[in-house]
Amino acid sequence: MKFYNSLTRRKEDFSPLDGKTVRMYTCGPTVYNFAHIGNFRAYIFEDVLRRALEYRGYGVRQVMNLTDVDDKTIRGARAEGVELRKYTEKYKKAFFSDLATLGVEPAEVYPAATDHIPEMISLISELERLGIAYKSEDGSVYYSVSKFPEYGKLAHLDRGGMRHGVRISNDEYEKDAVGDFALWKAWDADDGDVRWDSPWGPGRPGWHIECSAMSMKYLGESFDIHTGGIDNMFPHHENEIAQAEAVTGKQFAAFWLHCAHLRVNGEKMSKSLGNFFTLRDLTERGWSGREVRYVLMSGHYRQPLNFTFDALASARASLARIDAFSDALRECAGGACAADPAPGWVAECVDSFGRAVDDDLNMPEAFSAVFSLVAAANKRLADGKLAPGEAAAAMAAAGGFNRILNVMRVTEDVPAEVSQLLSLREEARRRKDWGESDRLRAAISDLGWAVKDTPSGQKLTRR
Ligand code: AMP
Ligand code: ZN
């Protein structure tokens, strides 16, 4: 597999440092509000990445942080007059429920910043001991970027243009140089009761230190992949590298992958511009999680993607085409075993799909392989030339694609509870007990499945 590494600005061959399990860190949400679908573009790109790695047989250990203390969360909690933890809890829950709606595979660990203050304090202490961090008069602690010669290597900053050691007048910060950033923020009245004791007095950690401390805690000092949206690259990711590598002397993350923005009319979708949609905004208008997933996943992750309702409508049409193909294949296969080896036209699509995914997650190409399979199968069906074993082989191929895409219905396992209700309903219909049959249909529907009666028996689809 090849990925474009932001650190080297090249596509590079990827393999995990330990040869088996990919250790991957993903910058997660600040839980002060509902995430918007721009944020979800980043999380879906990361989901496609982890699923692609799994598709290629690697184990994945993914860590995604939850930023549950910063200016915005504190402001929100104070405005509502509730404790910080209570305030952020609601948005953490909403975030997980949105991830589930979008079919995102859960990460292995979701560490919250407020549960890791001691780890952050010890990393800052180490930076202070090494003479890289300094305390200002108000009790805040800053990172002196001039002490880390490699500062700027991720964002490819021109260091010659950076000024160091010049004390600037700045009302907000008491730092020595413009580029220096806060590791620890001294408590002030705006923070209310949000404070932790530290060697520098009461306060709270800066945002950047959170990710260095938690990634190293759960993944080790050096790990495989660090991801985020492109806006995270500087200063956030640059600062993460500076904090971690200054202490360990080792390479922090081997690969850095960044996704481009989701835009609206050419501008980045963001809370501050007010041009955003949350997932709820869209589901309330009748769009489903998989339709939104399809839109967010269908472009190349390094290309900006413009969000439109037309794109959602065309995702709906594409999914309907894929659903019809799955239904037709299932009917044609009728329980037959997949032809082995798979017919050439199926194998070709599997090859192109794999090649596309391996080439820096080229999803537009991967989708074109999916639709080649759909077209080839449909043509054979229309000509009456699709044998059941071939249909089963095409189904198996589509099921493989869906391990990454997770928008098809092909491989959806019917839960045991639903199959049981289905067989009870079959019996009821044999007895001509229509009342019971309708009751069972409603029970199946409550579990999220629709049952249709066709000449060849009951047919089950996801609602
Ligand atoms: P934030 O909560 O702003 O820190 O963002 C969480 C994640 O979403 C980060 O990885 C951001 O880079 C990413 N992100 C924010 N806005 C967008 C956008 N419009 N398109 C893609 N990713 C975004
Ligand atoms: Zn981060």
Distance 289 CA to ligand 2 centre (A): 26
Nearest protein CA to atom 17 of ligand 1, as residue: 38
* Residue 193 one-letter amino acid: D
For the segment 271-279, the average pLDDT, to the nearest whole number, is: 94
Question: Does the pLDDT at position 447 exceed 50?
Answer: yes
Distance 64 CA to ligand 2 centre (A): 9
**How far is the C-alpha of 431 from the C-alpha of 219, rounded, in Å?**
59
Nearest protein CA to atom 7 of ligand 1, as residue: 39
pLDDT at 172: 45
The answer to whether the predicted template modeling score (pTM) of the entire model surpasses 0.85 is yes
Ligand nearest to the CA of 211: 2
Ligand nearest to the CA of 231: 1
Ligand 1: lining residues by beta carbon, under 6 Å: 27, 29-30, 38-39, 41-42, 228-229, 231-232, 259, 261-262, 268-270
Neighbours of ion ligand 2 (CB under 5 A): 27, 211
pLDDT at 117: 98
Q: Which residue has the tokens 């066709």?
A: 454
For the segment 60-79, the average pLDDT, to the nearest whole number, is: 97
Look up residue 460 and give its DSSP letter: E
| Choice between 160 and 180, residue whose per-residue pLDDT is larger | 180
pLDDT at 161: 56
Nearest protein CA to atom 11 of ligand 1, as residue: 229
pLDDT band at residue 74 using 50, 70 and 90 as cut-offs: very high
Distance 261 CA to ligand 1 centre (A): 8
Pick the atom of ligand 1 nearest to 28's CA.
Answer: 6
Ligand nearest to the CA of 229: 1
Q: Which residues pair with 340 in a beta bridge?
A: none
Distance 39 CA to ligand 1 centre (A): 4
Segments in 141-288 forming alpha helices (H): 207-219, 238-248, 279-284
pLDDT at 364: 98
| Beta-carbon contacts of residue 207 (< 8 Å; ≥ 6 apart) | 67, 70, 236
Nearest protein CA to atom 20 of ligand 1, as residue: 261
Sort strands 59-64 and 133-135 into parallel, antiparallel or unpaired.
Answer: unpaired
**Residues 187/188/189/193 CA torsion (nearest 10 deg):** -10
CA atoms within 13 A on the CB side of 191: 14
List C-alpha distances in Å: 276 to 267, 281, 301, 307, 316. 10, 9, 19, 10, 21
Ligand nearest to the CA of 28: 1
**How far is the C-alpha of 295 from the C-alpha of 405, rounded, in Å?**
11
pLDDT band at residue 450 using 50, 70 and 90 as cut-offs: confident
pLDDT at 164: 41
For the segment 307-328, the average pLDDT, to the nearest whole number, is: 96
| Beta-carbon contacts of residue 19 (< 8 Å; ≥ 6 apart) | none
Pick the atom of ligand 1 nearest to 30's CA.
Answer: 2
Distance 342 CA to ligand 1 centre (A): 41
Distance 211 CA to ligand 2 centre (A): 5
Distance 207 CA to ligand 2 centre (A): 8
Q: Work out the mean pLDDT of the chain and round it to a whole number.
A: 93
For residues 195 and 209, the answer to whether their CB atoms sit within 8 Å is no
Question: Does the pLDDT at position 171 exceed 70?
Answer: no
